[in-house]
Amino acid sequence: MRLATWNVAWFDALFDDAGALVRDDGWSKRWDVTRRDQADAIAHVLQTMNADAIMVIEAPDTSSRRSGAAALRNFADHYGLRQRAALIGFANDTRQEIALMFDPDCGRAVHRPLSDNAAPRFDRSLTVTLNGHDIDAVWSKPPLELVYTPRDGAALSLIGVHSKSKAAHGDTAAQRARVGVANRRKQLSQCLWLRRRVDQMLRDDPAARLVVLGDFNDGPGLDEYEVEFGQSGVEIVLGTQGDRMPLHDPHAQLALGSRNGARPATARFRPNDGPYLSALLDYIMVSPALRATQPVWRIWHPFDDPEVFADTSLREALLLASDHFPVTLDLMV
């Protein structure tokens, strides 16, 4: 089976309040990309990637007036996608939900939020200590915890993640530095909370079939604040320090092993009309039990993956659809 995670930038802006797809020649929220072109590009990538289940980051909004799950089902129906079922957990106020799109003929999914004293449900709050400071951790986009059961295989526990952006803003360097430190603390506190959930699940069942996937807005060596805080949020969730049972993502391991050299990338941005910047932000982390099955990871990068680069229509679709690129995991279930 194939699992995927993909941050689809501004997906919500392609739907009206009734969840109907707005596929016209008006501008999308993507720079110089029409709604028609972005929608067609997203569908082309999903069809080509052909995953049984996709953890969609920045999925359409769910609120009193809108249903992100209905919007995703309408999108799948319009393009004839087999991933025609959709599940959203705790809705948020950011218009960027976390959702699972999946093929109901290949498996079923159930929202299953967990809680214990060390790690309450992700729609609540938690006080964590970070470098001697007590931080009230909250998730603006609560992770999506679910059980996905393939039709012909054992159940998987999935946690879909979209952690705090570390982007700093302000009129002066001092203001940007303060915001950067504050955002980093928020992001790390979320990752500490998430790692507590991982510890809980692996403590209760060391053979747990656990997958943590999504956009962490972080990675080893991405900014100078790692020196102050000791490690990145990704390293915290992986469990690289201490005697924790580690999660595994080969792209993260490559980045950890080559902080000053070449590394994989899952996102490509162009800030302020400057040159394009690449970053490793999106991950699929697996528990030891799943790592032992020798799964295969792939970043669908339009330039770094030779097969994708050779497929002109897919390459262009990836560049039109989002500033993030999908990551897939092929598993024997």
Domain extents in the chain: 2-330
pLDDT digit string (tens) for 48-70?
999 999 999 999 999 999 999 99
In angstroms, the Cα distances linking 161 to 124, 177, 187, 196, 293 are 15, 26, 12, 14, 23
pLDDT digit string (tens) for 196-222?
999 999 999 999 999 999 999 987 655
Q: How far is CA 236 from the centre of its chain?
A: 16
Q: Which CATH class is domain 2-330?
A: alpha beta
What is the C-alpha to C-alpha distance for residues 225 and 244, in angstroms, rounded to an integer? 24
What is the C-alpha to C-alpha distance for residues 273 and 112, in angstroms, rounded to an integer? 43
Pick the more confident residue, 173 or 234: 234
pLDDT digit string (tens) for 132-173?
889 999 999 999 999 999 999 999 999 999 998 755 555 676
pLDDT digit string (tens) for 76-124?
999 999 999 999 999 999 999 999 999 999 999 999 999 999 999 999 9
Q: Supply the pTM of this predicted model.
A: 0.94
Provide CB contacts within 8 A for 21, sequence distance 6+: 14, 15, 39, 71, 74, 75, 78
Beta bridge partners of 7: 57
Share of the chain above pLDDT 90, in %: 81
Q: How far is CA 192 from the centre of its chain?
A: 17
DSSP string, 110-152: EE-----SSS--TTSEEEEEETTEEEEEE-SS--EEEEEEETT
Instruction: Enter the tokens of residue 309.
Output: 């680069």
Share of the chain above pLDDT 70, in %: 92
pLDDT digit string (tens) for 278-311?
999 999 999 999 999 999 999 999 999 999 999 9
